[in-house]
Amino acid sequence: MSRYDGRASDPGSYRERRGAEIVIATPGRLFDMLESHHTNLRRVTYLVLDEADRMMDMGFDQQIRKIVSQILPDRQTLYWSATWPKEVEQLAMQFLFNPYKVIVGSIDLKANLAIHQQVRCIYIYCFTVMVVE
């Protein structure tokens, strides 16, 4: 199943509606697909939540709960997070059974909000892509 910019490769196809074994999506996009019944998560057995702390900061916790509730309970679940605030840990503990916690670095690691980032475009390349069939 391929979906980008809200469009499916074959909208409404049987393959898409029956679900997929592998789904890579942002919580918002996946939630929209589930709500519109374009797909389901009945065949998913492995769940990875990357940047769980950032997703919580952005208010995706309710969507994550609804997404996880549609995946089989015998799934394997991985949470990846640079920081591990109490909110992320509480959410994780609702979905994990007998979890292992691997910590690299300090357990008290916090996000540094004082960093100011700038992106500067030095060179801009414009080119045309031609497809020959």
Phi and psi torsions of 4, nearest 5°: -150, 145
pLDDT at 69 (0 to 100): 87
Handedness of CA 26, 14, 68, 44 (dihedral sign): negative
Question: Any idea which of 4-8, 15-19, 53-57 has the lowest mean pLDDT?
Answer: 4-8
User: What CATH number has the domain bearing residue 17?
Assistant: 3.40.50.300
- Tokens standing for 14? 């049987």
pTM of the model as a whole: 0.60
Number of domains observed in the structure of the chain = 1
Instruction: Report the C-alpha gap between 77 and 45 in whole angstroms.
Output: 8
Looking at the chain, the whole-number percentage of residues with pLDDT higher than 70 is: 68
Structural domain including 66 reads 1-133
Handedness of CA 93, 98, 100, 106 (dihedral sign): positive
Mind listing the pLDDT tens digit for each residue in 59-113?
A: 888 888 888 888 888 888 888 877 777 877 887 788 777 878 777 777 776 666 7
pLDDT band at 126 (very low <50, low <70, confident <90, very high): low
CA distances from 6 to 3, 44, 68 (A): 6, 21, 21
Statement: residue 12 has pLDDT above 60: no
Q: Determine how β-strand 46-49 pairs with β-strand 7-8.
A: unpaired
